[in-house]
Structure 1
Amino acid sequence: MAVEEPVTGFAVAVVREDGRWRCSALDPGALTELDAAITELGKLRSTGASFGLLAVDDEFFVIVRPSPRGPALLLSDAAAALDYDIAADVLDVLRVDPPDEEDDSVWPEGDLEILADLGLPGPELEVIVGEVDLYPDEQLQMVAQRCGFGSEFAKLLDEL
């Protein structure tokens, strides 16, 4: 039986209520299972926008936005599904086949408009995802800045 390496990174819940942003840490289990992330986010009773930002092993990120119709999802690198269960779960929910083992290009899969109503249009998010020289936490910091919760996000990451 293979011993799995622990997954590193962070999972952050972001909530906007009454015009104010709040960031909080999610259970680390949210980094390994999409269902765990969705369940954790579902516990955040909020009348405003709420979503999760997951940075996994300095390799890729996932944005999860629960809704009554099912979660909106964005995976920054579809090829991550070859090595990470959570990325494979995202592709499964999106009904997208994982890429071939030989394909080493990076492309996002999911809803690039996932945060458009919060000030981050799809084309801009696509540019951030395309910054392959940046680590996922740096990309998510750009997302946070663009949506207006950069300082709250940075403060939480400093505490983690």
Structure 2
Amino acid sequence: MPSRSNLFSAAFAKSGSGWTGAEVELGEAEIADDLGDAVQEALGLNGDELALLCVEVEDEWFAVIRYEGELDPRVFISDAHAVQNDTLGEIFADLAGAAVVVEKDAPDLGIRPVGDLELLADFGLSAEELLELSMEEGVLPADILSIIAERLGFADELDRVR
């Protein structure tokens, strides 16, 4: 299991004046609700705002969770294989509806993105582009999150909290 020192997580809320970001502490997260609570606390939200939780674990994987009012969270994980044996990753996989199955003899099929590929489409980042970014060889999760932040307009906030 990756140590939490290799984890970066930040949340970003969209308002009329742009994006606001804050680093989010996920070290104590045990269930999916803990993630949403941490986002609300870090950003001081009342629950109606649009917020994105961006997480990267070392050079292994990244995830984006979209919170919007009372709607169920929408989740994208860059690699379902990489979240195996990671308690935080298993919470994300559960939210994404992706079973994390550890098979010792299973072939490594490479990167396997899972979850809601359309969660950023209304911001101009299509499912195809999100898949393409996730599967590009040699590009680190941190770099992909930076590209996503640039496309959505919160790159300055990401840089500030990083």
What is the distance in 2 between the residues matched to 1:134 and 1:31?
A: 27
Of 69, 76, 79, 2:78 maps to 76
> Under a length normalisation based on structure 1, what TM-score does the superposition of the two structures give?
0.83
Q: How does 1:6-85 map to 2 (within 5 A)?
A: 6-7=3-4, 8-29=6-27, 34-43=32-41, 44-45=45-46, 47-67=48-68, 68-85=70-87
Kindly state the Cα deviation for residue 135 of structure 1 after the two structures are TM-superposed.
1.4
Query: Structure 2 stretches of 5 or more lacking a match?
Result: none
Kindly state the Cα deviation for residue 46 of structure 1 after the two structures are TM-superposed.
5.9
SS in 2 for 1:82: coil
Q: How does 1:102-141 map to 2 (within 5 A)?
A: 102-104=106-108, 105-141=110-146
> Under a length normalisation based on structure 2, what TM-score does the superposition of the two structures give?
0.82
What is the distance in 1 between the residues matched to 2:2 and 2:134?
A: 26
Kindly state the Cα deviation for residue 6 of structure 1 after the two structures are TM-superposed.
2.3
What is the distance in 2 between the residues matched to 1:30 and 1:16?
A: 25
Q: How many residues align?
A: 154
- Residue identity over aligned pairs, in percent, reads 25
Kindly state the Cα deviation for residue 78 of structure 1 after the two structures are TM-superposed.
0.4
Runs of 4+ with deviation above 6 angstroms: none
Query: Structure 1 stretches of 5 or more lacking a match?
Result: none
SS in 2 for 1:80: coil
Q: Sort the Cα spacing of 1:139 and 1:5 in 2 relative to 1 into closer, same or farther, 3 A.
A: closer
Q: Sort the Cα spacing of 1:119 and 1:47 in 2 relative to 1 into closer, same or farther, 3 A.
A: farther
CA RMSD of aligned residues (A): 2.3
Kindly state the Cα deviation for residue 32 of structure 1 after the two structures are TM-superposed.
7.3
Q: Which has the higher contact order (CA 8 A, sep 6+)?
A: 2
